Chain A
Amino acid sequence: MTNDAASEPARLTAIVDEFADFEPRERLEALVEFADQMAPLPAELAEKRDAEAHRVHECQTPVFLWVEVRDGRVMIFADVAPEAPTVKGFLALLIDALSGASPAEVAAVHDDLLQRLGLVDVLGMMRMRGLHAVLYYIRKQAAAAPAEH
């Protein structure tokens, strides 16, 4: 299943490059924009959310995440409380960057993503753990998701 040659999705690299040109303040604004644009949760998943399944427990505010693989492509659905725009924005960025990629490409996303996006400096170390947890969760679920044919 793992493809050692896979690299991260091109869309993610493009977002990282875009962030690299941003001033610190613009990186935060971009995160807010991502948070604003997060698609609402499909109705059938909202019921499961209410049953507290698929919750990412490392996050400070309720975060619900579904990672599926359909036709070899990763699909991510999420719901995050409006009180947590930082997690919501980061997650929306990941959904934008990783949706449609192969599981191997998602697995190839490195732990240093938050550094590469320049978010450690603008948000502070204290806020990194919850964001890392979201990335780990997506990678793990993408690798474990049963492939549908």
Chain B
Amino acid sequence: MDRIPILKMGPFLLVTIQVDLYDRLALNLENDLITMVSKTGARGVLIDISAVTIVDSFMGRILGNIASMSRIMDAETVVVGMQPAVAITLVELGLTLQGVHTALNVERGMDLLYQKTDILLHQDEEEEEAPEQDPE
């Protein structure tokens, strides 16, 4: 069966779509991702579509679905790496991916996820921001 691998990275799930999706593959991804969010308690989902050359209304709907379903499961979704030609086409098509967070690349997407979920990036930052320790 065709599947797109889902990687767990700390509190987040990472998906890199390397092929142009056909319907079955997209539906499997939707299903697998939600199952994984539930199983791992992930707080965020990052979907890299930098290798995707075509996003039609079906594919756009799947991305929207993943975002809404994840939100209900207490996880944020960020779609990153959209090609400029795909962005132009999506807007003309009338698909604005409402409710889906987007970022230019994986790095910014990860930053956005940390921000959205209030998870602190590094241990030392956590210490800095931690309230002053009780003297005892």
Q: Is chain B a partner of chain A in the same complex?
A: no
